[in-house]
Amino acid sequence: EPEVTQTPSHQVTQMGQEVILRCVPISNHLYFYWYRQILGQKVEFLVSFYNNEISEKSEIFDDQFSVERPDGSNFTLKIRSTKLEDSAMYFCASSESNTGELFFGEGSRLTVL
Amino acid sequence: SQQGEEDPQALSIQEGENATMNCSYKTSINNLQWYRQNSGRGLVHLILIRSNEREKHSGRLRVTLDTSKKSSSLLITASRAADTASYFCATEDLSGYALNFGKGTSLLVTP
């Protein structure tokens, strides 16, 4: 069964460092998303991406964040100058259309020290 | 953007009992979805109900949607210990691009 894969599963970084979280969406999907979940809290939308551009972003997704689809398979989230409050689980998701079921990866746990 | 809000926050039942979780939201939607999350894992889609549907079934799951009250319920019948997880409702508003998740209901099913 096709699945969304995310790497790394866990990253520990020092405050102020840059991190890149990687995702390989399901191959025939066209819409890609990043969500985050601070421990024990709700799942928050960050950004959606379609046709090589951002289609929607939340207030959380400020200039510290960027997304890229550098090749035909990877979808990355870059977080510049990380802060303690960026510590969270980051989930990538993809879908065939812009309405309907999202397929989520297992997440990348980011710990900022 | 709006978000679904689940109720109760936590629910503890015994195997074999039914579990009911509720979700309320604020503005018009295209559809409402329910997802499950095992501890520390990714979210798994359970069921989607469109705004013109009132009830939907999938196995032991039954979802209802009342657009006039802006609310939905998820019923899990004959629960099993393996149903222990967090359950989230997610609404797709009319702009269509993003799903907005609630805070989830934590379900514990004891043998």
* DSSP letter for each residue of B41-100: S-EEEEEEEETT-SEEEETTEEEEEETTTTEEEEEE-S--GGG-EEEEEEEEETT-S-EE
Chain A hits for B102, CB-CB cut-off 8 Å, are: 42
Walk me through the domains of chain B, giving residue ranges and CATH numbers.
Answer: 5-110 (2.60.40.10)
Domain count, chain A: 1
- Residues 6 or more apart whose CB falls under 8 angstroms from that of A71 comprise none
- Which pLDDT score, from 0 to 100, does residue B3 have? 67
pLDDT digits (tens, 9 = 90+) for B51-62: 999 999 999 999
B105 touches chain A (CB under 8 A): no
pLDDT of residue B106: 95
Q: What is the CATH number of the domain that holds A9?
A: 2.60.40.10
For residue B100, the chain A residues in CB contact (below 8 A) are 45
Asked if B6 and B85 touch (Cβ cutoff 8 Å), the reply is no
Sole residue written with tokens 């960050």 = A46
Domain that holds residue A87: 5-112
- Find the mean pLDDT for residues A84-95: 96
Output the pLDDT for position A70.
85
SS3 A67: strand
Residues of B in contact with A99 (CB under 8 A): 30-31, 92, 96
pLDDT in tens, A26-85: 999 999 999 999 988 889 999 999 999 999 999 999 999 999 998 878 999 999 999 999
Query: From CA B111, how far away is CA B109, in angstroms rounded?
Result: 7
Residues B12-58 have pLDDT tens digits of: 999 999 999 999 999 899 999 999 999 889 999 999 999 999 999 99
Q: What is the nearest CA distance from A78 to chain B, expressed in angstroms?
A: 20
